[in-house]
Structure 1
Amino acid sequence: MVANRNALKAYAPQARKDFIQAMTNRAAQFGITKAGNTLGEERGELFIIGGKAFPRSVAEQRRRLIGRIEATSFDQTMEAVAYTWFNRFLAIRYMERHGYFDHGYRVLSHPLGETEPEILQQAQHLTLPGLDPDLVVDLKLRGDQDEALYRRILIAQCNDLHRAMPFLFERIDDETELLLPENLLQSDSIVRKLVNQIAESEWDEIEIIGWLYQFYISEKKDQVIGKVVKSEDLPAATQLFTPNWIVKYMVQNSLGAQWLATYPDSPLKAAMAYYIEPAEQTPEVRAQLDAITPRSLDPETITLIDPAVGSGHILVEAYDLFRAIYIQRGYTPQAAARAILTKNLYGLDIDDRAAQMAGFALLMKARAAACGV
């Protein structure tokens, strides 16, 4: 369990402001502000904005960003892209803490507490799709291009994660890449704050994702609650993080109750502290219950849906109970993980970004099984 919720509560609301401001500042560098947009000009392989030259590829990314703003609003776009990058950095931080990257390096931090991310120190040894090793060496040798190199590494890492988690790490060649902030290596950057303000131990359990989601949008919820809520504000207005004991109660008395109805002597009952034994019934009712209770259950045929999944708290708890059921049935942890993700669990939410984190949380549960945890 996450031990220090006060630290998370202090970090996440300010992080939302910091991420939005970072996106806003970055957009301004490309002549895009809430007040309007500066005209740009394509000249050969360059794109000129306000006398500053950018690669020609920026022109299309900028057009997409302006189109997105025109379809919604400047504020809504900045907030949406900020939330996207916040989710990505949370996912990367959790994965590096658990050693889930194939290359073995931390992306945002250093295992010895050094300020320079480990992946930047080891850049010349990296093999990531889209990362040119010759360019990496060149930027390292220059000695003053660490920011530019780190930015390339981050984008390459996110694109590599697209293979396993396309719902969270869309391929970054669009306006979200354009708004990836600069100066990520500075002591007051959004990356450094994420690393420094939340203790390492807080990342041990996947529940941290749910708590950070709750606190990240808590101020937005306070701003819109009690008012006529716009459609884009519905996720914040309706957000509610269910306490852990209630989640356990719900799962144990739905999925757990279904399993125990067929297998009342299952040893799983001893591990379900919130399970409520069925009330005594008349012989007639018992006969009716016996008639509709299956004599056996194939766990692969049981499905559970959370229609307001949020960051996946209930599905994560259900994952653990399904896993115990499968292990009792003789499945290996790896086979159980695959079955749970492909056959048992479903979720819906009006907030796509929250649902992204629910999917991530479940994948991390499965990843732990692959590591034998």
Structure 2
Amino acid sequence: MTSENKIIAESESKSRSSNPVPNFYRASAEDFRKIPGSPIAYSLSNNIRNIFCAKPPLGNIVPTRVGLMTSDNDKFMRFFWEVTLNSICFNALNKEEVFRSKKKWVPHNKGGQFRKWSGNQEYLLSYDKKSRDLLKRIGNHLPSEKLYFKPAVSWSEITSSSTAFRYYPNGFTFNIKGMCAFPDLKCTIEQILVLGNCKFTNHIIKIINPTISFGAGNFNSLPSAFIENSKIEENAQSLICYAKNDWDSYETSWDFENLPLLRAEFKCLTVEESYSRVRAHWQEMTDEMQKLEEENNRIFIEAYGLEDELTPDVPLSEITLTCNPYYRYKGDKSEEELEALLLADTMKELISYAVGCMFGRYSVDKPGLILANQGEAIKDYLEKVPVPSFMPDDDNIIPVLDDEYFTDDIVTRFKEFLKVAFGPENLSQNFDFIAGGLSGKGSLNQAHGSGSGSASSESVIRNYFIKDFYRDHLKRYKKRPIYWMFSSGKSQGFNALIYMHRYDKSTLAKMRTDYLLELESKLISERGMLSDTSAGNKKRIDKINKQIAEIKEYDELLNNRALAMIEIDLDDGVAVNYAGFEGLVQKI
């Protein structure tokens, strides 16, 4: 702020002092000088200005750095699920450790959505010796490289609401959009996190920087108002733990081990009972996080005498757990609508996990990733899970059709999964409950049907697989799908899923001979058995004719690509590999 502007601000303030109006503040130029950068912040109280005077700027206490800019994210960055698991070097302490591992990818902090304490850990950076040398020459030349792989507190530069600070353990590089502050002897991770996420700091940020961008300079100008209080540090550790457990409960975390519904402490004989237990646990976790955050706020407010300016309250929408519907679903929704959305998404997550078990990515018998490296097959699965209770699909091709034409039909396989996971005696009830949840019925009492595993429930689930599963998969995996839907077109004549990590150059030929041509033969046979005397039969014959015509056209393209024996390289990423099957797979 120039001297001239400071004088103008002071003059305007004095000129209005004789005519009081609502929201009127009086401040001298000297008041503004107390704040680094001297921003025009009339509504900051004397108490808060005095904190700026009493406490040195954070930049004098906490080393803060801007991360790298690759100049070509498509070349150097991937989501972790796109590549071979064995090519990722997790938890490295320095670059030499990465180079010794001979692995190509390391975790990368790229900022991300509004989320406090822990999370937003899904990106990788290409950082083998060759890539590192190239990055050193381009982009912004690996600034602060000596701080790579060290534990840090980070935040996203662009924020649409409050600024959120998160803990990143050792092993991460960091991006220009994911700036980092590093603890040293003067402060701890917990102190930085609590200060960053407390209401006091967010109040200051909104006043002195009312933009959606919060950079390293903004962070450095905040007062280092740390409080020596063991309770605050203890709270911070609990908050990090809750946030990490929540993040790891979903497939897109590399530390995902098992679906909450199937964990021993929650799993019951039915999906409904299991969901009821999990939902209660989620609510307890949300309530506890809210209590801890409010306790931290209260300690800060009382320590700095801000009781007349701030309250410790934290709205549920700012308890940043994915299992908290008030945070997960934006907008003005009723509690009933929120519960219906959460139930529907949890059923979709159950289905997604089941599909992962069908392909061998996961197993109901062992936590964590099983088949997650390029070219792995059933023999690799059996080395890790010698006596599986649920066998993955043997050929990595699962048909998704409007009827049960094959023994590995996806709905049939889903039933088998439910029998193993929850017991065969409860299949009908579980099928009805899942169908009810997918249909958007909000209460547990409404969500299940007749309890008989009705045909309508099977229709709901089959329609979900055909029409909505892939759309949800694309959304969950941020348009970088790991299961690919091969589809003949709008008539839904032929659909089949494959798992890209198990793909090999013979997959398309097998899909054509064992599924596409076999389905065409079955449809022709079915058409021949139908009489066209009834309206229902005429409608079905018309649909079969369209499907057969679509299959014949699709077969020409599939045959050409099968003969080409296409190979893929997971290091190239989904976008590049998927493009090689254009016309055969559903568009992203």
TM-score strictly above 0.5: no
Of structures 1 and 2, the larger Rg is shown by: 2
TM-score by structure 1 length? 0.29
Greater helix share, structure number = 1
